[in-house]
Chains A and B, each alone.
Chain A
Amino acid sequence: AQRVTQPEKLLSVFKGAPVELKCNYSYSGSPELFWYVQYSRQRLQLLLRHISRESIKGFTADLNKGETSFHLKKPFAQEEDSAMYYCALSGYGANNLFFGTGTRLTVIP
């Protein structure tokens, strides 16, 4: 069975400090991993996906199959990064996303 774990419900960092949001997964096949973000009063939206290997708003995430992790990182946090972040997993070619419980990131000015 698939499982996504985000161990931190709340994370606070100072502006300009590095930030890492942890995500570990459990899946028997080849997973697709995603990070979704929900800013205050906005809808949930895709931030990045592992197959794209892209950096969005300064965030990157590397899929580590050995550690079954997909941590989200940014070297210098900005106030506008404050939001709820969800790690999500899908089986390759599957239709549904399984979400972690989310981490609320607060960037302190």
Chain B
Amino acid sequence: DTAVSQTPKYLVTQMGNDKSIKCEQNLGHDTMYWYKQDSKKFLKIMFSYNNKELIINETVPNRFSPKSPDKAHLNLHINSLELGDSAVYFCASSQQGGGGGGEQFFGPGTRLTVL
């Protein structure tokens, strides 16, 4: 009974390609997030969606486009991949705000390597 799942777990691709990472949560949460963890383990929020609506976009290049077909899914599409996009991407979800005492539940991460 995986709460937050991501596919694929590993993604290796060439510069310039377009790729997607999928995220699904079965917790019935209203809010979903994408985080990027760089090589130094720094974890930074990229996007936050609440009930399929974008509520946070933290200065992420517009090559990154989140798509939320329903509140249980938040996919991340990346165009024209660059070397600097190599990182581990984490999806998370929470009920209501997640910040006001709420807990965020994280997926296992997707390790993206751009060659």
Q: Is the CB of A93 within 8 A of B100?
A: yes
Chain B interface size band reads 20 to 34
Residues 84-109 of chain A: 1 if any B CB is under 8 Å from the residue's CB, otherwise 0?
Answer: 10100011111111110110100000
- Is the CB of A43 closer than 8 A to any CB of chain B? yes
Q: Given A32, A44, A97, which contacts B101 in the complex, CB threshold below 8 Å? A: A32
Q: Is the CB of B99 within 8 A of A90?
A: yes
Q: Is the CB of B101 within 8 A of A99?
A: no
Q: Is the CB of A96 within 8 A of B45?
A: yes
Q: Is the CB of B99 within 8 A of A32?
A: yes
For window 22-73 of chain B, which residues contact chain A by CB distance below 8 Å? 31, 33, 35, 40-45, 48, 50, 55-56, 58
Contact of A97 with B104 at beta-carbon distance under 8 Å, contacts A102-B41, A102-B42 already known: yes
Q: Given B4, B50, B92, B99, which contacts A91 in the complex, CB threshold below 8 Å? A: B99
B35 surroundings in chain A (CB, below 8 A): 99
Least distance between A105 CB and chain B CB atoms (Å): 13
Q: Given B45, B103, B105, which contacts A49 in the complex, CB threshold below 8 Å? A: B103
**CB closest residue in chain B, given A86:** B43
Q: Is the CB of B104 within 8 A of A84?
A: no
Q: Given B90, B94, B100, which contacts A32 in the complex, CB threshold below 8 Å? A: B100
A91 surroundings in chain B (CB, below 8 A): 99
A90 surroundings in chain B (CB, below 8 A): 97-100
Q: Is the CB of A101 within 8 A of B101?
A: no
In the complex the two chains form, what is the Cα distance from A101 to B42 in whole Å? 5
The 10 A-B pairs at the shortest CB distance, nearest first, are namely A90-B99, A93-B100, A94-B99, A44-B106, A99-B43, A46-B103, A43-B106, A95-B97, A102-B41, A96-B45
Contacts from A to B (Cβ < 8 Å): 32, 43-46, 49, 51, 84, 86, 90-99, 101-102, 104
Contacts from B to A (Cβ < 8 Å): 4, 31, 33, 35, 40-45, 48, 50, 55-56, 58, 90, 92, 94, 97-101, 103-109
